Amino acid sequence: MSRHSNTLRAQSPGKLNLTFDILGDLPGGYHEVETLMQTIDLADELTFTFEPAEEFLVEITSVEFAGPTGDVPLNQNNLIAKAAHLFRKNFPDKPDYKVSVHLRKAVPVAGGMGGGSGNAAATLMVLNKWFKSPFSDSKIAEMASKLGADVPFFLNGGTQIGRHRGNVLSKVDLSNELHFLIVGPKLFGLQTAEVYGAFDENKVNGTATISATECAEALKGGDEKSASQKFGNVFEPIVFSRRPELQFIRNRLTELGGLCTHMTGSGPTLYVFTADKAEAESIQRKLVDEQRDVTNGWSNHCDLILNSWVATSTKRGVIVA
Ligand code: ATP
């Protein structure tokens, strides 16, 4: 940032859940989760402009979609506004500002990639920088946790295991880059709360087969083929049974190649974990060709347009410039 400017910019990446399991219940109606999370090089861009004002105001002035459009609130329900107001509440004795935010979404909205959570983490980091770091990293992490279970992860990003609600984090040091083809079906997807509700009805806590630690260890060992067998998401059977077209896409992606195909978070975004970038690109080409061919299974099974992105793992969370 130049101090002559009243503008700060940030990038907040999307994440993939390489593993996602529910171990049990926590007080307050929360679920105890265990998940191996990974940031990727698909990121939203946020531009914050600060002007002195009589009271603290946050306005999301505009949202631009770099990829597929989605339903992003422009009012105080936006996680950016919620994060800014929480920051301000913890920092009461300073001059007020009007904070205007322009948001450019690249991370698919409501897709299980934590886009909104990343935006909230970016907001806390930008405000801390603008006000010359009144808060320590741990205080910022505490505020992040209040905004949502996924928000603390985005402060540092990279590869981390999330436990408790997903907000108690341990860093995993991976030296190798991971490659993915991300596939976002434009389904009128299930809401996250609906997926958790369906999970509760079935009550199958702890798959005992999906282990974030084992997956992290296997990835650290550098054998991606055997690591890919440790990937998994406890929500897949629930979501696939309610959205058979997603199961169809998953099966077809598995046939097209890659090491494994899974759903991130509560979906509906799927990702193919691949040996390298070239393999992800090759699957993407096959996918585009297949969807153009109206005589094959795609048109019979699902009237869907798929967006896809070749992505690589990153070692960082939010970047504030
Ligand atoms: P979650 O699993 O937490 O529901 P997600 O990763 O599936 O999240 P997000 O893109 O974070 O998906 O969006 C979740 C919901 O939050 C959407 O319904 C969206 O309208 C709302 N939302 C609020 N603020 C934002 C924001 N800044 N960016 C994207 N969505 C936002």
Looking at the structure, do residues 143 and 12 belong to the same domain, yes or no? yes
Calculate what percentage of the chain has a pLDDT beyond 70: 93
pLDDT of 206 higher than 60: no
Looking at the structure, do residues 48 and 128 belong to the same domain, yes or no? yes
Does the residue 28 lie in any domain?
A: no
Looking at the structure, do residues 237 and 140 belong to the same domain, yes or no? no
Confidence of residue 31 (pLDDT cuts 50, 70, 90): very high
What is the per-residue pLDDT for 185?
84
**In total, how many domains does the chain have?**
2
Q: Measured between alpha carbons, how far is 66 from 64 in angstroms, rounded to an integer?
A: 6
Find the largest Cα–Cα distance for the chain: 66
Residue with the bigger pLDDT between 204 and 231: it is 231
Nearest CA to ligand 1 atom 30: 116
Mutate which of 79, 104, 196 to test ligand 1's pocket (most atoms within 8 Å of Cβ)? 79
- Give yes or no for residue 265 CB within 6 A of ligand 1: yes
Look at 51-65, 206-220, 250-264 and tell me which has the smallest mean pLDDT: 206-220
273 alpha carbon – ligand 1 mean position (Å)? 24
pLDDT of 289 higher than 90: no
What is the per-residue pLDDT for 109?
93
Looking at the structure, do residues 209 and 132 belong to the same domain, yes or no? no
Looking at the structure, do residues 194 and 275 belong to the same domain, yes or no? yes
Domain end marker among 103, 126, 158: 158
56-98: per-residue pLDDT in tens? 999 999 999 998 888 999 999 999 999 999 999 998 777 789 9
Confidence of residue 294 (pLDDT cuts 50, 70, 90): low
Mean pLDDT of 263-283: 97
What is the per-residue pLDDT for 86?
97
Residue 236 sits in a domain whose CATH number is 3.30.70.890
Give the pair of three-digit tokens for residue 27. Answer: 């007080």
Residue 120 sits in a domain whose CATH number is 3.30.230.10
Looking at the structure, do residues 103 and 189 belong to the same domain, yes or no? no
Looking at the structure, do residues 146 and 12 belong to the same domain, yes or no? yes
Does the residue 1 lie in any domain?
A: no
Q: Measured between alpha carbons, how far is 234 from 34 in angstroms, rounded to an integer?
A: 10
Does the residue 318 lie in any domain?
A: no
Domain end marker among 158, 187, 215: 158
Residue 270: what are its φ and ψ, rounded to 5°? -110, 155
- Give yes or no for residue 194 CB within 6 A of ligand 1: no
Look at 115-119, 185-189, 245-249 and tell me which has the smallest mean pLDDT: 185-189
Does the residue 93 lie in any domain?
A: yes
Residue with the bigger pLDDT between 313 and 201: it is 313
Q: Which structural domain, as residue segments, surrounds residue 154?
A: 7-17+41-158
Domain end marker among 158, 188, 215: 158
pLDDT of 2 higher than 50: no
Confidence of residue 190 (pLDDT cuts 50, 70, 90): confident
* pTM exceeds 0.75: yes
Provide CB contacts within 8 A for 253, sequence distance 6+: 181, 183, 261, 270, 272, 283, 287
Looking at the structure, do residues 256 and 218 belong to the same domain, yes or no? yes
Does the residue 140 lie in any domain?
A: yes
Question: Could you tell me if 303 and 272 are in contact, meaning their C-beta atoms sit under 8 angstroms apart?
Answer: no
Provide CB contacts within 8 A for 215, sequence distance 6+: 18, 19, 36, 227, 230, 231
Looking at the structure, do residues 119 and 59 belong to the same domain, yes or no? yes
Looking at the structure, do residues 121 and 223 belong to the same domain, yes or no? no
Active site residue 15: yes
Mean pLDDT of 218-229: 95
282 alpha carbon – ligand 1 mean position (Å)? 30
Looking at the structure, do residues 153 and 194 belong to the same domain, yes or no? no
pLDDT of 1 higher than 50: no
Q: Burial, 55: exposed, middle or buried (Cβ in 10 Å; 0-12, 13-18, 19+)?
A: exposed
- Give yes or no for residue 73 CB within 6 A of ligand 1: yes
Looking at the structure, do residues 187 and 147 belong to the same domain, yes or no? no
